[in-house]
Structure 1
Amino acid sequence: MVSHNGSDYLPRTLAALADQTRPVDSVIGVDTGSRDDSLALLERALGAGNVLSFPHGRSGMGGAVRAGLSARSPWEGQSSRAAEWIWLLHDDAAPAPEALAELLGAVERAPSVTVAGCKQLDWHSGRRLIDVGLSTSRWAERLTMIDADELDQGQYNGRTDTFAVNSAGMLVRRDIWEHLQGFDPALPGTGDDVDFCWRNRLAGHRVVVVPTARMFHVAHRPHAQGNPSAARKAQVHLRLKHAPLWKVPIHAVGALLGSIFKLVLSIAVKDPGHGFSQLVATIAALGRPAAVAKSRRTAASTRRIRRSVIKKLQTPRRDVWNHRRSLMEALGADRSTADGLLHDPLADQPTGDSTDDFAALTTTERGWVGAGALAAIFIAAAASVTALSGLFRAEAVSGGGLIPVSATLGEIWHHASSWWISLGAGLPGKGDPFGYVLWILGVSGGGDANAAMSWLLLLAAPLSGLTAWFAAGGVTTRRRFRFAAALFWAAAPALQVALNQGRAGALVAHIMIPLLVLALLRAAGSAVGHGRFILPAPGERRFTEKPPTHPGVNGTPSWTAAAAAGLALAVVAAAAPSLLIPAVVLIVLCGLMLGRRGRTVWWALLPSVALFLPFGLSVIDRPRALLADPGVPLAFEAAPLWQQILGQPLLFAPGGGLSGLPFFSGGVIPWALVLALLVAVPVLALAVAALFLPGKRSRTARALWVAALVVLVGGWLAGHVATGVLGDALVTPFTGPAVSAAGFALLAAALIGAERLLDAADRSMSSRVRQNVMLRSAVALGMVLLLAGPLAGMAAWSAQNVLRPAAAAQPADGSAGPPLGTPRLVEAGNARTLPATAIDRGTGPEQSRTLLISTKENGTFDAALMRGAGTTLDSLSTIAAARNIMGAPGQETVRDDDDVTASIRSVVATLVAGQGVDPRPLLERLGAGFVVLRSADTAAQITASRMDAVPGLVAVGQTDVGWLWRITPLNQPALQPADVAHRVRIVDPAGATVALVASKYDDVDTTIAEGPEGRLVVLAERPDPGWSAWYDGRKLTATTSGSAQAFTLPASAGQLTIRYDAPWALWAGIAQATVFGLTLMLAIPIPARRPNTGLSRDEGSLRKEHQNA
């Protein structure tokens, strides 16, 4: 008898052993390191001399039996007397009184039988069948072929020979046990009995089941080794062990592919945990080649008959599928019953006058649940329209951190997915993850991303209110509090700063953070229930037997919500990369603290890891780019932590007044501090109260406080890392996203505190009218305070933006410090940043660049080398922004210009000086075909007149963007058909351009004519090992021409192909597509019905699922 933590079952098992009608001759008890009273129970019942302590539980039953036999009854060989038999007993399997006698009678009648087993019945329900002999499928799946809840009516009493029998109550002839070397050590749990009987059959012996020998067995013991993962591992091991040698690789590949298919299927039916465990178990089984080889050698040493003989005893595939379908139908019946009135959580509730049914009908809760959301949306929309007037029907928006987006979805996708950054002369690196967000935005705008961006700014406040209203439903059931949360979030100062400064990333993050928090709460089962799933209040008697459960609420985790959280986190992290590390820390802590209940939240990390892993591989040498905000780098002065806790991302002086409102410019009343406190203090007070109120919800409130502090600290640390350069100033990540994330965590904690306080007030209502009036008045005052701050903040923001001309004429007194708020920098603009002529040549086969020069107020010039239709928001790169920054955080410096940047500075100086120096050699290497001077002041006109005299510049005229010049190519006689420079050209050994080559955005695929020996094909791109070229299928030798990428070109004519390849591009793309495809599949909110769930399960896990149901 082998025991392991079986003290709950041993008394009955030992009593059953003692009651056998045919007593055993001797008993050996083996305890495998139990942590309960199992060892003491065995010693009391069997005697200390007959019990062995064998603290090696992982060796399984086979190891325990071998240890017990070796220590107490060593094998001395087969004697001439009667055969010795071993009866194997589990601590959780009690034999019927006549079990041993029936087994011995069966083997005495048939000497060829060397293994006999019992009929297994349920421990708790003595008539419910577990198995009457075992079988396997052709794929080594362990099968019982017993229907769910099938009762023992003697229908299997005629069964004798079988493929295998259960190890609980297995009777084995001792010589056969020793000859077969017992159970396989590689199968310490599930599958050991099937394998032993399999080898016994191959050795030429019989296995029978004796239905009259009954064993009462615990079907699904808690914390047992026989879980679905162990079953899958055993199944793969058996498949590799007993297959012919030439089929082993086929079975290995088939097992892996089958597990991957099961994973996809399990995700489709909302059961990914099972699919992942099956895949891990398969990999674990395949990762033991030494154990498989040893097992095969042991099996081969005892095999006497062909493997094909055993196939006749295995269950055909059709029978396996019919049996599985029967079990799934039983699960479907469970689901129907669970959905019926018999298990309706409200079905047993009393009704009538005594339960105040009619009083309940008169409450405000009978109104439409979305009324608060609509009210918040209308209020936020009115404030947004007032504050952002002028953006209606705007072709594009620009200003602050915003510039127009590319005109087509294909360009946006190319910039996001490309491994070559198409800015200026280009540089290696993955496109920003935010580019995918812009692509989704363009899809939502019907292909027009610029129009969608305009509408996003206009609708940001209403959308924020809507997402906050939905998320508030995860922490409170009170509609008034959901309305207050929506209004607060729509009026958050971080949102207003992001809107006025054109910070698209912070804006998207603010909108999505509530959905991320809601999804995480539901993934962990920490959201509150609504309707029939509301948990009973303390003292209520309802649901005492079966509390209402639903995925995502009341402690029931949700895989669908976890997948939704993963998608939301990917969007938030792409929009605000500085939030990624704090989010990862919090999710890991959540997964560890919640244990098994938190297993779902780990999925929330997968999409973000898949999204940022390729990007991270390209910034190994400049990791600061991982924290950079998308968009144009924009300098700001971060608020101290105490102001960030008040929800303010930018520094303000308490007496600095309100920006743009002269009447509130400071003085005696510190208007800035008053407004900041009015918005934040009621929420902070309720959030603090939630920490000390009784009940389980206070733990959620504490977790939200921890999340807020972690995010604020993470934002503070990120604020010490420079990620961009604006003029002479270094730019750090914007604090707004961290303030938004911490603010919503505190808002959720405040909602918990408010609900707990209101619940306490409701319970304290008495018959005394005066006390009730006071409580109702306090509640009303609290709601006024909650709503006053957001409404005042919206009014101030709208007024600041509307009155900004007056504010410019009458600036506030700056002596008191920076005011609260920021001026609006975002304006309606033109979607084109370059003249149409330059765009046509920049997007055509020439792929020519445009040098855009802008005049500044101090007489200096800015210059940018633009590609295609001009630099757009999706083409910007945080890698490019951070590439010139060097040094430790807080001690950063900007490195000197490289050759390309120095060339641009030199050519700009030559152009604006207008001294007759020919700039075309430098412009040709840069691939520039046009020059644009953008400005309309007198200084720009003087500069334009000087530039007209520059050799090689042909004035096209003034456009809506600025003055435009076309650059004529050098070596004009040879290039007579061309009137503008190309991105790709062919040069002779002397470096003179002899031909221009048509190209695509990054790649080249064209026919090249004959030419001189020693010629080069030159790209106006920075040199990088990722560039490769082929000429008629032969790879060309890479070289450089000055500071440009070049390749040696044969003199003969041929087909030229050039492209940029990153070593990780293919695998990274496959990984991203796989992770996001599976996440989207899992996130689709369809019911996870038990019959569908069974599609990905084997027989053992189906039976366990049925028992759980």
Structure 2
Amino acid sequence: MHSVTAIVVAHDGARWLKETLEAVLRQSRPLDRVAGVDNGSRDGSGRILTEAFGPSSVLSMSRSTGFGEAVHEVVRRLPRASGQEWLWLLHDDCAPDAHALRALLHAADQNPKAAILGPKLRDWLDRRVLLEIGVTVGRSGRRDTGLEPREYDQGQHDGTHGVLDVLSVSTAGMLIRREVWEELAGLDPRLPLFRDDLDLCWRARVAGHRVLNVTDAVAWHAEAASRRRRRIAASDDHPRRIDRRNALFVVMANLPFWALVRSVFRNITGSLVRTVLFVLAKQPANALDEIAALGSVLGHPGRLFKARKERKKGRKQGYPAVARLFTPPGATWRRLADMIQRYLAGEGPVDSAGRHHAAAASSEDEGDELLTDSGLFQRMSSSPGVWLCVLLLAVTVAAEWSLFAGGLLGGGALVPVTGGASDLWRLYVENHHSAGLGSDTWAPPYVAVLAALSTIFFGKTWLAVSVLLLGCVPLAGLSAYVATRRMITYTPARVWLAATYALLPVATGVVASGRVGTALVFVLIPVYAALATRVVAGSRRAAWGFGLLLAIGTAFAPLVYVVVAILGGLAAVSFGGIRRGVGVSLAIGLGTPIVLLFPWLAEIVREPRRILLESGLADPSLADPRLGADALLMLNPGGPGTPPVWVTAGLVAVALGALLLRRHQTVVAIGWGVTLFGVLLAVVVSRLAEWPGVPLAFAATGLLVATALTAHRITEFRAAGGPRRAGALLIVIVAFATPLAAAGLWIVGGAGGPLRGDLRDPVPPLSAAWSPNGERTLLMRPEGGRLAYTLLSGRAPFIGESDLRAPAADTARVGTAVAGLASGRGGGDVQILAAYGVQFVTVPGPVDVALQRSLDSEPALVRVSLSETGGLWRVAGTVTVPKPPSGGDGWHRTWLWAQAALVALVLVLASPGARTAEQQEDYGDAPAPARPSRRRPKNPEEQVPA
């Protein structure tokens, strides 16, 4: 014989309480007793309770009373009843179905060991959405419901007998034996709200009782406290902080000792990761809650020790009884990936309650099933962008096959790639550089960018450079396809734009000439275009991201900033008076590179010619001094690796045809304006004997965007039939002729040029072995009638060292000595070089005969070896290795710290910021249900059960 007492606790819940009480009193299995507790409500909840239960059945308590304390007070005053006595705990925002109690008691009869039972919980507003069918928890305290976000109840989780063995059920509708309540001392008063149900059920499980969720019993729950639909008076802390703190406390209080030790380290690490993501998402309050919750638990070890001692007394079966109900470890990794994905998508980090996430179920099989995501594979395999990248990658591999020779990658503007990420970081932060003649100038900022990329690629600089340079074609295609998704909605046009952009003559010329800087800029330009459209709309976050990426591009090619600054000034004039905040956003975007690169940009301004240069070796032979106007008009920068001029004729023809369309005239005009500006700037750069790849890349971007935005008109022509249909087919053929021709010619001709993949280490092994004290090796290279030389300090030069400036007097003196040595004029040239630490002279093979004779005729040089691979001579006299200056540049180190802080700040400001799910509901933009409930709600936040 069962005796049931329903206990309803209310706190400012008048808007739900009436419906809750009606649902409680109309149960098909009548209640034996009812009791109500009003925790200091100010909205009339106490009056509603009194009207429903009577004055003698309602207890009034202070406003700061927690749920567990209120129930304890009722049970303390409640006389015992005959038979099997049950306590039915209900929140004021939880309305049970009319048959809920009958289903719970039936399940208790079928399962005699069941001490705690709970109903299936559905959402209060959308009555079909599942909230809980029992709850499990991860070892980090993260709450799992086993449900997908906004999953509808279709009986898919009901099981064969309508009951589920679970770790915990909610106190919203919890049915518990009174004897078990008293045995376990009920809800822990140290947990006034949130996670008190998990703690009680966990203690019941390890005490040998069963906890069941009865899926035949249904209740609708508004979750008013966790969704912040009412003020919480039981604590002054934020609900998120309370929830996280209590979660950590419950897990650490109930786990066995060694599992506790692992949990402490796991939670410290996890909290730091989540804090960083909250900061990046510009949610400092949530980040503070995360850290404060961890500190609150670990900072009071006495309270935790006392709780563990209390729980140890009631433990009978121990930890293994509940371990199988925990979240499977694999699902934790899935949640972390989901958290990062939500952050990158701008949805904000996951919330600590876990209600809106794909969580783990209570079995290992279900947890493993959660790790599979066939939908992701299907989306990727059916995406035109993915197939485009695959095709571009195949074209790239076919064209660049000769560059995968197994040696060092170098040639043209690229020094042979040696060293690792640590070497580049050291080069960037050190005050004095020993490379060459030695230099006290600061390393160029692109060294830090390459160091960061090399760190990402497992410390391998050669891998980072290979991906960036050799993979710039597929990377540029992916960048163009993704960046234009908001501007161009017609998918075939996006595919054409991305393919054409990726295979422009600029791209093939970049690879052949070894221009790492332009390769990176070429990949970033579509992103610049996409962000620029948001900057002119006044987006501050886009402005910070644009400024950071512009700083990266400027570090490799300063001309990028000149192009963007002029276009930005024109945009400010055009849109500044139309859209609010455009001026500030443009100022942020254009000012960020100046701040981040200030010392280096100041040097560039003092030498304006350097604006036209890019990272790497300055080799005049890489630019075509006789570049004609036809090449520039066809967006061909000339130089090694570029195709014939006519390859881009199809692109220009289609773009000219876009001018004839009456619609989108403004867009087409802007695109053509950018194109003409880029071409004019390319003319100036080419006449200054520099490579015009950067301005032509901007020009091509404007042309492609203007053309692709009008491409959807093709469907109208095709639908019209007749001559228009034929014309549409002709336009498509002409448009795709450019990427197809460019790809075919690139594969046939190969990507060879100055860039090679079979270079050897320029430092001979003998000279490296015989230079124990840092003696230098003079590398002499006859190139096109002139003699180039490099001083090597026992190793090959790193990327970025070619941009270091030695003292002008030392450079002139050594240059004169090298010229004299090569000419065979004799004198004290060798002694001058020996004074600068030169121990060896090497010439790569095949060695020029005249140069060999000059070196052999020098009495102070002794030939060590001579072969087809090169020659090596040793200085016979005493060599003096210059010592680096003592001390350091304090301003340099201060700026490095300031620069790191500024980069971190800009990253935070540029990161996606988002509201959590509860905040979205508060602001009224939570996902709407598929269709409304069948009954009209009594007020905007309330609906009765369907």
Q: Please say if 1:571 is aligned against 2:558.
A: no
In the alignment, which residue of structure 1 is the partner of 2:167?
none
Which of 674, 677, 680 is matched with 1:707 structurally?
674
In the alignment, which residue of structure 1 is the partner of 2:203?
none
Which of 780, 785, 790 is matched with 1:853 structurally?
780
Which ranges of structure 2 fall in alignment gaps of 5 or more residues? 1-41, 45-275, 285-346, 357-377, 923-946
- In structure 2, what is the Cα distance between the partners aligned to 1:476 and 1:603? 26
Q: Please say if 1:582 is aligned against 2:563.
A: yes
In the alignment, which residue of structure 2 is the partner of 1:1103?
none
The alpha carbon displacement at 1:477 in A equals 0.9
In the alignment, which residue of structure 2 is the partner of 1:929?
839
Q: Please say if 1:1079 is aligned against 2:906.
A: yes
The alpha carbon displacement at 1:494 in A equals 1.0
Matched position secondary structure for 2:588: helix
Q: For each residue in 1:40-95, what CA deviation from the matched residue of structure 2 results, as whole angstroms up to 9, or x when unmatched?
A: xxxxxxxxxxxxxxxxxxxxxxxxxxxxxxxxxxxxxxxxxxxxxxxxxxxxxxxx
The alpha carbon displacement at 1:705 in A equals 3.4
The alpha carbon displacement at 1:784 in A equals 2.2
Q: For each residue in 1:447-491, what CA deviation from the matched residue of structure 2 results, as whole angstroms up to 9, or x when unmatched?
A: 221233234343222112111111231311111111111210121
In the alignment, which residue of structure 1 is the partner of 2:401?
389
Q: Please say if 1:950 is aligned against 2:866.
A: no
The alpha carbon displacement at 1:407 in A equals 0.7
Matched position secondary structure for 1:693: coil
Matched position secondary structure for 1:851: strand
In the alignment, which residue of structure 2 is the partner of 1:739?
696
The alpha carbon displacement at 1:400 in A equals 1.8
In the alignment, which residue of structure 2 is the partner of 1:608?
593
Please report the TM-score for the alignment, with normalisation by the length of structure 1: 0.45
Which of 901, 908, 933 is matched with 2:812 structurally?
901
Q: For each residue in 1:5-64, what CA deviation from the matched residue of structure 2 results, as whole angstroms up to 9, or x when unmatched?
A: xxxxxxxxxxxxxxxxxxxxxxxxxxxxxxxxxxxxxxxxxxxxxxxxxxxxxxxxxxxx
Answer whether contact 2:282 2:911 (CA < 8 A) is retained: no
Q: Aligned ranges for residues 768-807 of structure 1 at < 5 Å? A: 771-772=720-721, 775-801=724-750
RMSD, aligned α-carbons: 4.4
Q: Aligned ranges for residues 185-334 of structure 1 at < 5 Å? A: 268-270=280-282
Answer whether contact 1:522 1:558 (CA < 8 A) is retained: yes
Answer whether contact 1:396 1:454 (CA < 8 A) is retained: no
Answer whether contact 1:512 1:571 (CA < 8 A) is retained: no
Matched position secondary structure for 1:865: strand
The alpha carbon displacement at 1:1094 in A equals 15
Aligned letter for 2:776?
A: R
Cα 1:933–1:675 shift into 2, 3 Å: closer
- In structure 2, what is the Cα distance between the partners aligned to 1:459 and 1:904? 37
Q: For each residue in 1:169-204, what CA deviation from the matched residue of structure 2 results, as whole angstroms up to 9, or x when unmatched?
A: xxxxxxxxxxxxxxxxxxxxxxxxxxxxxxxxxxxx
Aligned letter for 2:778?
A: L
Matched position secondary structure for 2:597: helix
Cα 1:266–1:381 shift into 2, 3 Å: closer
The alpha carbon displacement at 1:510 in A equals 1.1
In the alignment, which residue of structure 1 is the partner of 2:653?
681
In the alignment, which residue of structure 1 is the partner of 2:624?
637
Answer whether contact 1:932 1:965 (CA < 8 A) is retained: yes
Which of 414, 424, 427 is matched with 1:415 structurally?
427
In the alignment, which residue of structure 2 is the partner of 1:649?
637
Q: Please say if 1:752 is aligned against 2:724.
A: no
Matched position secondary structure for 2:802: coil
- In structure 1, what is the Cα distance between the partners aligned to 2:880 and 2:557? 39
Aligned letter for 1:1059?
A: G
- In structure 1, what is the Cα distance between the partners aligned to 2:455 and 2:278? 30
Matched position secondary structure for 1:850: strand
- In structure 2, what is the Cα distance between the partners aligned to 1:620 and 1:673? 35
Aligned letter for 2:764?
A: P
Q: For each residue in 1:97-120, what CA deviation from the matched residue of structure 2 results, as whole angstroms up to 9, or x when unmatched?
A: xxxxxxxxxxxxxxxxxxxxxxxx
- In structure 2, what is the Cα distance between the partners aligned to 1:368 and 1:689? 37
Cα 1:685–1:435 shift into 2, 3 Å: farther
Aligned letter for 1:435?
A: V
Q: Aligned ranges for residues 640-1039 of structure 1 at < 5 Å? A: 643-650=631-638, 672=644, 674-686=646-658, 688-689=659-660, 692-694=662-664, 698-719=665-686, 731-732=689-690, 734-755=691-712, 757-758=713-714, 771-772=720-721, 775-801=724-750, 824-830=753-759, 832-839=761-768, 846-855=773-782, 861-877=787-803, 898=809, 900-910=811-821, 913=824, 919-937=829-847, 939=849, 942-943=852-853, 946=856, 950-951=859-860, 953-958=861-866, 962-967=870-875, 970=878, 981-984=880-883, 1003=884
In the alignment, which residue of structure 1 is the partner of 2:417?
405
The alpha carbon displacement at 1:370 in A equals 5.7
Cα 1:831–1:605 shift into 2, 3 Å: farther
- In structure 1, what is the Cα distance between the partners aligned to 2:821 and 2:848? 20
The alpha carbon displacement at 1:735 in A equals 0.4
Answer whether contact 1:704 1:746 (CA < 8 A) is retained: yes
Aligned letter for 2:842?
A: V
In the alignment, which residue of structure 2 is the partner of 1:432?
444
The alpha carbon displacement at 1:584 in A equals 1.9
The alpha carbon displacement at 1:567 in A equals 2.8
Answer whether contact 2:500 2:739 (CA < 8 A) is retained: yes
Matched position secondary structure for 2:791: strand
Matched position secondary structure for 1:931: strand
Answer whether contact 1:400 1:826 (CA < 8 A) is retained: yes
In the alignment, which residue of structure 2 is the partner of 1:488?
500
The alpha carbon displacement at 1:1067 in A equals 4.7
The alpha carbon displacement at 1:743 in A equals 0.6
Please report the TM-score for the alignment, with normalisation by the length of structure 2: 0.52
In the alignment, which residue of structure 1 is the partner of 2:529?
517
Aligned letter for 1:850?
A: T
Q: For each residue in 1:758-779, what CA deviation from the matched residue of structure 2 results, as whole angstroms up to 9, or x when unmatched?
A: 47659xx6xxxxx446555443
Greater Cα offset, 374-383 or 934-943: 934-943
Q: Please say if 1:375 is aligned against 2:387.
A: yes
In the alignment, which residue of structure 1 is the partner of 2:117?
none
Among all aligned residue pairs of Structure 1 and Structure 2, give the percentage whose two residues are the same amino acid: 21
The alpha carbon displacement at 1:940 in A equals 6.2
Matched position secondary structure for 2:843: strand
Q: For each residue in 1:658-678, what CA deviation from the matched residue of structure 2 results, as whole angstroms up to 9, or x when unmatched?
A: 989xxxxxxxxxxx5543312
Q: Please say if 1:596 is aligned against 2:580.
A: yes
The alpha carbon displacement at 1:1060 in A equals 4.3
Answer whether contact 2:435 2:793 (CA < 8 A) is retained: yes
Q: For each residue in 1:251-304, what CA deviation from the matched residue of structure 2 results, as whole angstroms up to 9, or x when unmatched?
A: xxxxxxxxxxxxx999845499xxxxxxxxxxxxxxxxxxxxxxxxxxxxxxxx
Aligned letter for 2:790?
A: A
Answer whether contact 1:911 1:950 (CA < 8 A) is retained: no
- Which portions of structure 1, spanning 4 or more consecutive aligned residues, are displaced by more than 6 angstroms? 264-267, 366-369, 1090-1095
Which ranges of structure 1 fall in alignment gaps of 5 or more residues? 1-149, 153-263, 273-331, 342-365, 526-556, 653-657, 661-671, 722-730, 766-770, 803-822, 884-896, 971-979, 985-1002, 1004-1026, 1028-1057, 1096-1109
Cα 1:370–1:782 shift into 2, 3 Å: farther
Cα 1:1093–1:863 shift into 2, 3 Å: farther
Q: For each residue in 1:158-179, what CA deviation from the matched residue of structure 2 results, as whole angstroms up to 9, or x when unmatched?
A: xxxxxxxxxxxxxxxxxxxxxx
In the alignment, which residue of structure 1 is the partner of 2:149?
none
In the alignment, which residue of structure 2 is the partner of 1:1061?
889
Answer whether contact 1:405 1:874 (CA < 8 A) is retained: no
